[in-house]
Amino acid sequence: MFKLMRFSVLFLAVILLGSWACNSVAVNQDSSTAQTVSLADASPKKNYRKYCAGCHGDQMQAFVDRRWVHGNTEADLVKAIKYGYDDEGMPAFDTTFTDAEIKALANYIQEGIKNVERYDFKGNFDFSKVYQAHDQHFKVEPVLTDLEIPWGITFLPNGDMLLTERGGGFYRINDRGDKMRIENAPEVLSRGQGGLLDVELHPDFANNQLIYLSYSDFKRENGERVSTTQVMRARLANDRLVDNEVIFTALPYSTRRHHYGSRLEFDLDGYLYISVGDRGNRDRNPQNLDNHCGKIHRLNDDGSIPSDNPFVGQGGAMESIYSYGHRNPQGMSRQPGSGTIWTHEHGPRGGDELNPIQKGVNYGWPTISYGINYNGTTFTDKTAQEGMTQPVHYWVPSIAPCGMTFVRGDHYPSWQGDLLIGSLRFEYLNLCVMQNDKVVEEIQILKNIGRVRVVEMSPSGFIYVGVEEPGAVYRLVPLDD
């Protein structure tokens, strides 16, 4: 039986948070921003799967730690479902469910929690099987287990892996699977969706040993603990960070504990791209240039602002902004050949998006969207508007995308140039077959592998996948070489 996961307070304290976003078919939306869904005949099981499983898992995986900040009695669960906890991303369902439906849902969750410890998350995936997708045959090989929510992965020139755990652990793993902790990593706020997040090497790491870490920084402000997305540059020396320097701090700090974004990627010209989520302040942050939230940022490698960024010299604008109108981008990858930076981002219920990032472009959130609120209400009746770009691809219902990489190298010839995207919601790896920068086919692979948090390629050209439960990293071993 695997070791119980340590999930963040967002999942532990917040009892229900509807599905995190995904799609494939458009949603039928009413123009009213207050319309609710009639659920009079819906069972608690159906309600859970429709509104809750996206964040908490079909098997209630996100409840296994049971460090309940707000309590787990029936009364506690009823209160959480009915009124929500806004700072933690938990919406209120008081207009969605009747009191009787809320009580039934609370009881269903309590009963599910009793069973979740007996659920073997590894039991649903067959590691002995040969898998196939698009003429590519492969097996899945465990590399690391007993991790605490792996979030970021990158590789040193010698093939060693650098891995972050959301709880704050930072490790180097050699080819024998030995795990060495890297000292002097930044202190983080491991709450909600925050913690130690992405890791990226400087393009000239072989000569300067510089690495970049993104994480949730915190401080006291007006007597409250507030947090934000921050990026640190440091030099790696003998499994220790030295010369630590903060090069980016997303403003403003917030009491909210979700939508940090936090992916990092360098382009071919050596500019660093940083994703920052809207921090749960949908109506204020993404469409305004006077803050860093709901944006993709572009910096020089030392944190200074490139002179050709689109909003340099524009009064009141944050000059690091490269694009805006984003919700919560948790996937970023550089396309082979063109060098274009691509991202995906979570929608609410529906409306996950895949986009190539273009200079100065407004991606529309929340003015336009293919999603609806977690509790079934609508917030916009628009899916298009002049001056706002359409996604290359979107998902309805949400797959809750996290992590992504373009396939390159010779080990997976049938997937060359295609895009791999993890699904938190449905626990698979999504192979997006690309033609002329369009998704022409989607193939679900690694079904039931777990909530996929990160996918990366090693310098030797192998695909690695990190999952939240049982907290592991797997390698895809091609059989067609």
What amino acid occupies position 43?
Answer: S
pLDDT of residue 72: 76
- Three-class SS of residue 453? strand
In the sheet that 161-165 helps form, which strands lie side by side, from edge to edge?
Answer: 150-155, 161-165, 170-173, 179-181
- Pairing of the two strands 161-165 and 341-345: unpaired
Quote the percentage of the chain above a pLDDT of 90.
70
Distance, CA of 258 to CA of 255 (rounded, Å):
9
The better pLDDT of the pair 445, 100 is held by 445
Tokens coding 328: 């919560």
What integer pLDDT is reported at residue 29 of this predicted model? 31
Taking residues 363-372, what's their average pLDDT?
Answer: 97
Q: Nearest Cα to 302, choosing from 219, 395, 373, 234?
A: 234
Residue type, position 93, single letter: F
Q: Helix, strand, or coil here: 198?
A: strand
pLDDT value for 87? 66
Average pLDDT, the chain: 87
Task: Please give the residue that has the higher pLDDT: either 398 or 8.
Answer: 398
**pLDDT tens digits along 5-45:** 333 333 333 333 333 333 333 333 333 333 333 444 468 88
Residue extents of the structural domains in the chain: 9-116, 131-478
pTM over the 0.95 mark: no
For residues 295 and 276, give the distance between their C-alpha atoms in angstroms, rounded to a whole number: 6
Residue numbers annotated as active site: 259
Same topology, domains 9-116 and 131-478? Answer is no
Total residues belonging to the chain: 481
Measured CA angle at 152 (ends 158, 432), to 5 deg: 95
Please tell me the distance from the alpha carbon of residue 50 to that of residue 387, in angstroms, as a whole number.
33
Q: Tokens 């994703």 sit at which residue?
A: 275
Which CATH fold would you assign to the domain 131-478? Neuraminidase (2.120.10)
357: which 2 tokens?
A: 């990032």
Instruction: State residue 48's pLDDT score.
Output: 83
Phi, psi of 101 (to 5 degrees): -70, -40
Contact of 321 with 297, CB cutoff 8 Å: yes
Q: Rounded distance, CA 153 to CA 175, Å?
A: 15
Helix ranges (DSSP H) in 14-73: 44-51, 53-56
Alpha helices in 117-229 (DSSP H): 205-208
Tokens 């791209």, residue? Answer: 273
From the list 333, 474, 468, 432, the residue with the least C-alpha distance to 55 is 468
Q: Residue 257 is which amino acid?
A: R
Least confident of 51-60, 256-265, 308-317: 51-60
Per the listing, tokens 């033609």 go with 435
The distance in angstroms from the start CA to the end CA of the chain is 35
CB 376 within 8 A of CB 34: no
Q: Please tell me the CATH code under which domain 9-116 is placed.
A: 1.10.760
Asked if residue 298 has pLDDT above 70, the reply is: yes
The secondary element (H helix, E strand) that includes residue 345 is strand 341-345
